[in-house]
Structure 1
Amino acid sequence: LKHGIKTIMSPAHKIYVDMKYDESTHVGQDWAGYVSVETAYNWDPTSVYEGFNEEDILGIEAPLWTETIHNTVDADYMYFPRICGAAEIGWSPKDNRSWEEYCLRLARLGKRLEQLGVNFHRSPLIPWK
């Protein structure tokens, strides 16, 4: 940072989508802790690590390391719905984000994911329709 280098944020304990949602997740890792749908949404790239300002950050990424992922069904499960939260964090100012409103939008998206045949984690935190 002191040399003006920009960064892409991807803190493992917030947005690595190969981290298990909770102890019952059948695939994934847990070395950085569990990353629930709420954890993956409720973070701010400028406040995860000390010393980062908005102008230091180019964007975010949600990595999926595949040591424990053996097929697209499991990959979809690990990505969805957390990747939706990553997208919103990446394009929406912090002041425009609301966990409560996001839950409602995500609940409606669940039906569409089902129609598309996407295997997704049905978090108990979301009021799925």
Structure 2
Amino acid sequence: MKYTEGFPLGLQWAGFVELRDAYDWEPEDLVDGLPATAIEGVEAAVWTETLTTTDDLFTMLLPRLSAVAEVAWSAPGRKDWDDYRRRVAQEAAAWRRDGLAFHLTPQVAW
């Protein structure tokens, strides 16, 4: 999904998913009555029908993929958005070093 309404890549049929939206996602909230113990993992699907280059793909994945990983690894209620924003900004140095494209969301002080 697009990050924002004006974002040039992706689709919007399921809404817009900025970094904070991906980070605040709680899998156990999706199905009423589903116990957290029934969740075996999370998935981060990316639809590529509008993406034509690997830079397009990485722009759609990063930094949101790191947010989904944090969701998967963190116990409910144990995430810290401000700490995450600091850490993902630091991780961007490795992405730049490796030549990976990524979305410079205004939600992070890059």
Specify the TM-score bucket, using the shorter chain as the normaliser. over 0.9
Using the alignment, how far apart are the partners of 1:57 and 1:42 within structure 2? 17
Aligned length: 110
User: Shift of residue 49 of structure 1?
Assistant: 2.7
> CA RMSD for the aligned pairs?
1.0
TM-score normalised by length of structure 1: 0.81
Higher strand share: 1
Instruction: State the match for 1:109 in structure 2.
Output: 91
Q: 2:25 aligns with which of 30, 36, 43?
A: 43
Q: Which runs of 5 or more residues in structure 1 are unaligned?
A: 1-18
Moved over 6 A (4+): none
Using the alignment, how far apart are the partners of 2:70 and 2:55 within structure 1? 23
TM-score normalised by length of structure 2: 0.94
Secondary structure of the corresponding residue to residue 95 of structure 1: coil
Q: Which runs of structure 2 are paired with 1:33-112 in the superposition (5 Å)?
A: 33-112=15-94
- 1:42-76 per-residue CA deviation (whole Å, 9 max, x = no partner) reads 02111123122111211110001111111211000
Identity %: 36
| 2:6 aligned with 1:24 | yes
User: Shift of residue 111 of structure 1?
Assistant: 1.6
